[in-house]
Structure 1
Amino acid sequence: MRHFFFLLIFLSFSNVIIAQEEIVNSVYFEFDKYNLDEKQANTVVNFIKTIDSTRIESVQIYGYCDDRGKESYNFKLSNNRASVIQKKLIASGIKNKIIVTIEGKGRVLIDDDIIENLPEVRSKNRRVDVVINMRPLPKIQMPGMFDMIQKKHVVGDRIFLGDVIFEKGSSKLNVKAKNDLEKMAKALLKYKTLQFEIQGHVCCTPPYHKEAIDRDTKKRQLSTNRAKTVYTFFVTKKIDKIRMTHKGYGNAQPLGKEPQYDRRVELVITKI
Structure 2
Amino acid sequence: MKFFATLLFSFMVSCVFAQEQVSFFFESNKFVLQKDELLKLNKWLTANKDLKVVGVYGFCDEVGTVGYNDTLAKKRIDYVFNIIKNRVKIREDFKTRSFGKLHTLSPIKSENRKVTLYYILPKDFVNEEKIITEKQEVILESKKTKVKFPDVYVYENPDGSTFNIKIDTVFMKKVSLADIGEKIKLESMNFFVDTFAIMPQSRSVMFELLTVMQNCPDLKIQIQGHICCVKKDFRDLSTQRAKAIYKFLEYNGIEKSRMTFIGFGSSKPLYALPEKTEAEREANRRVEIEIIAN
Normalised TM-score (structure 1): 0.40
Normalised TM-score (structure 2): 0.37
> Per residue, is there more helix in 1 or in 2?
2
